[in-house]
Amino acid sequence: MTQERFEELASEAIDALPAWVLELMDNVQVVVEELPPPDSPGLLGLYHGVPLLNRGWHYSGVMPDRITLYQRTIEAVAGPGEERLRSVIVHTVAHEVAHHLGITDERLLEIDAY
């Protein structure tokens, strides 16, 4: 799949998030990279930034948080078929947005959303 089509599917996944989530998202960008870092070859996505729950009055003038989706890893997990790929992208986007909102991996496991 082309990166352009993958980015379209990622954009659709973001647009499909509940309205209340989209309203909360602040100063975050979503990017697609072909491969994850060499030390994390199975990584589907990564959130890097200051979660909303940790932002205080002093939070200003900072670069946007970043959600990175790793195309080749997601494609490998999804296997053939765009519908399965779409599903893995939706799950990965939701997972990384949860981190942006301040939800930890431990909490995602507790609520069976992993």
The reported pLDDT for the residue numbered 113 is 67
Place of tokens 């909490």: 107
The reported pLDDT for the residue numbered 108 is 80
Question: Each residue's pLDDT tens digit in the chain (114 positions)?
Answer: 999 999 999 999 999 999 999 999 999 999 999 999 999 999 999 999 988 888 888 888 888 999 999 999 999 999 999 999 999 999 999 999 999 998 887 888 887 766
In 3D space, the residue among 109, 38, 110, 44 whose CA is nearest the CA of residue 71 turns out to be: 44
The reported pLDDT for the residue numbered 60 is 82
Residue 101 falls in which region: left (phi positive, over 0), alpha (psi -120 to 50) or beta: alpha
| Domains of the chain from N-terminus onward | 3-110 (3.30.2010.20)
